[in-house]
Amino acid sequence: MKEIATNIDVLRSIALEQYGFVTTHQALGAGVTQASLSMLVKRARLERVCYGIYRVPQVPYSHYDRYMLAVLWTGVPEAVLSHDTVLDVYEVCDINPTAIHITVAKKHRIKRIGGESYQLHHQDLDFNQVGWWEGIPTVTLPTAISQCIASGVPTYLVEQAIDRGTKRGMLVSDEPRWLERELAARNG
């Protein structure tokens, strides 16, 4: 007997991969109409988090939700966590970011409300500069350290990140050396 998936089942399958979140674009792409989304919200089967993003309440909350929400908030599929945030989530230094840093391609201009706790950066990233942390797209550690050097993160934090990243095998080959040269060039 063939089982028919309901709209909430379809949304839940997407949300399970994204800490409970699903975007309007993803829902429409999966065949769930805007009217169905509105009805699911009205019936409390779906929560509207912010413009274009919903949360399936049956998916348990976690510590990582805010990071996934930040990436999805941009509305840009290639958005990634970056800069200070990546150093923080990889726990390679004692940095304590005041915002979640997100990078999108230079061509994207994000004009959405609700991003007060996000720091948006524009940079065209190569495929090898992007990775994953806990199922959330991020820049790689070498890229994050390089971004932090360019953005003026204090030297002692960058040095910590290079040292701990090397000891943990997160920086390999000549990466620590070229990052140290980049830091030395910044410091004159």
Residues 126-170 have pLDDT tens digits of 999 999 999 999 999 999 999 999 999 999 999 999 999 999 999
Q: Of 18, 152, 175, 161, which is closest to residue 88 (Cα–Cα)? A: 161
Domain positions in the chain are 7-55, 65-187
Written as six digits, the tokens of 76 are 């840009």
More confident residue, 14 or 111: 14
Q: Of 117, 114, 118, 122, which is closest to residue 151 (Cα–Cα)? A: 122
Q: What is the pLDDT of residue 1?
A: 47
Q: What is the pLDDT of residue 2?
A: 53
Q: What is the pLDDT of residue 99?
A: 97
Tokens 């800069």 map to which residue?
Answer: 83
More confident residue, 61 or 5: 61
Angle between helices 34-42 and 7-15 (to 10 degrees): 90
pTM: 0.92
Classified as helix, coil or strand, 87 is: helix
Instruction: Please state, in angstroms and rounded to a whole number, the distance separating the CA atoms of residues 37 and 16.
Output: 17
What is the Cα 145 distance to its own chain's centre?
16
Written as six digits, the tokens of 86 are 């990546």
Q: What is the pLDDT of residue 113?
A: 78
pLDDT, tens only, 31-73:
999 999 999 999 999 999 999 999 999 999 999 999 999 999 9
Mean pLDDT of the chain: 94
Amino acid (1-letter code) at residue 130? V
Instruction: Please state, in angstroms and rounded to a whole number, the distance separating the CA atoms of residues 67 and 147.
Output: 18
pLDDT classification of 110: cutoffs 50, 70, 90 = confident
Q: What is the pLDDT of residue 96?
A: 97
